[in-house]
Structure formats: structure tokens, C-alpha cells
Amino acid sequence: MESTLKLNTTETVVLLSALNIITLKGSDAKIVANLQYKLEAVQQQNLKKEEAEEQKKEDSFVEMVKA
């Protein structure tokens, strides 16, 4: 099964927290670990996007002040 979701930071944190509570064995554990890995990657992407947006806002502010 493959699905694509656009998750915000809060949704990602909630899902990772829920997955950390789950204790599974065998093949299910591998599936959950894979999902955790993918969610952590999404979380990192979201953080990078937020940082880039903040930097862009700061740069715009500096340019506006200079003008």
C-alpha cells in the first residue's frame, strides 16, 4: 500500500509519538519502523521549509529597512 500525505509539523509529531507507544514484533515492527523513518524525513523537510520561509521574511525586512 502506498499513499501520499502532506503533513504539517504538529501532525508529524503526533504520529511519531503514537508510533513510539506501539510495541510490535516481527514484520509489523519493520513496517512501523519504516513509517517512523519516513515521518521523521517529512518532519525534517517541514523544518527546513519553515527555516527557509523565516530567512526569506528576515531578508525582506532587511531590504525594506535599507530602502
pLDDT of residue 1: 46
Cβ atoms within 10 A of the Cβ of 29, count? 12
Residue 37, all three cell numbers: 523513518
> In this predicted structure, what is the pLDDT of residue 57?
92
**The predicted structure's pLDDT at residue 37:** 85
Cβ 12 vs Cβ 49: under 8 Å: no
Q: List, for residues 31-65, the tens digit of each pLDDT value.
A: 778 888 888 888 888 889 989 999 999 999 888 88
Cβ atoms of residues 46 and 7 within 8 Å: yes
DSSP string for 24-50? --THHHHHHHHHHHHHHHHHHHHHHHH
Overall pTM surpassing 0.85 (yes/no): no
